[in-house]
Amino acid sequence: MRRAGAALLLCLLLCGCSWKDAGDLSAVTAGTISREGQQYQLTAELALPDADTAVPASKQVSGAAQTMEQAIDDTGAGLDVQLYWSHARVLFLDDTVLSGGIGSCVQELHADSAVRPSVRVCAVRESRAADIFACQSIGGEPVGFSVGDSLSYAIQQSQVPDVPLYRVYNALETQGIDPVLPAVSLAGKQVQLDGCALFSGETCSGWLNREQTAVLSLLLHSGEQAVLYDDGEPLVLRAIRVRRSVAEDTCEIQVSADAACKTDEQVRRAARVAQEQCTRVIERLKQADCDALGIGRLSGQAWRTVPVTVSVTMHAAQSTEGGNQ
């Protein structure tokens, strides 16, 4: 999607277009959503062609309305351009939305044809969402591009769960499963990934830190690999398989993976560390009443009362030359 946005900007540059004469072409890189009273406050970041540099410039436009559809229309009102929300990489929701319930916001966004269902959704910790666009990005590119790249890389490394808009909508519409959202926070003038937000139904009920979020990503099996931390040292896991089952009112979660270990003792330690961390994260989910793993749907009962056991099987990863890595 970033390539599509870049191609659009390149076409505008080759045509010698500026903000004023770009007609109805203006790509939205990201959007921030807050609530004030009964109204949504929506800010869009636009990537604008800059004839003097290969890096597009950034411009923000804002709108407010009682529905998301009206807020999207209001954001582009009075401009010489039509906003292309299909290029947006991330939507940021702050506490004014998270604490009041994300249900109606997500439903309206999902129903709006202007918004891509696969756009990723993030929670903003301890800041107003619109403050994100006052931050600086490495290389000077629009913040939506840089955060989108960081998020994509973290998802590939299974450091955060992959949560596009349609997946949030499906979780809210499915009985027995709760959504989670990757979280960002502001560190000075930089935006950083900062764990994830937990939800009980449509309301934010707690947070996980970065290491806990990596464990949750493992349990959700969202990525080609996972990285856990043992006393601060990364433990890389591959060929991950996660199975959840319920028998005799007990939920069992079975995790198997290949670990980059050289000795049998390291393999056993990796399995023990993974089992302990998975168990702690499940307890944290129970404290927040966030059934992100769908245990209630499997068991058919109040999920916090269901005993959960975690078993982990580790295998030493094989090198391409043969033998253990």
d(CA 230, CA 157): 17
pLDDT value, residue 227: 85
Tokens, residue 77: 């009102």
- Find the mean pLDDT for residues 292-318: 85
Nearest to 97 by CA among 141, 16, 39, 53: 39
Mean pLDDT of the chain, nearest integer: 85
pLDDT value, residue 320: 40
pLDDT exceeds cutoff 90 at 176: no
State what percent of residues in the chain have pLDDT above 90.
Answer: 54
- Percent composition of the chain: helix, strand, coil (DSSP 3-state, to 5): 35, 35, 30
pLDDT value, residue 174: 77
Q: Which of 18-22, 96-100, 167-171, 305-309 has the lowest mean pLDDT?
A: 18-22
pLDDT tens digits along 210-246: 999 999 999 987 557 888 888 888 888 888 899 998 8
- Whether 272 and 259 have beta carbons less than 8 Å apart is answered as no
Nearest to 246 by CA among 200, 309, 290: 309
Band of pLDDT at residue 276, cut at 50, 70 and 90: very high
Band of pLDDT at residue 278, cut at 50, 70 and 90: very high
Transcribe 181-209 into DSSP letters.
EEEEEEETTEEEEEEEEEEETTEEEEEE-
State what percent of residues in the chain have pLDDT above 70.
Answer: 86
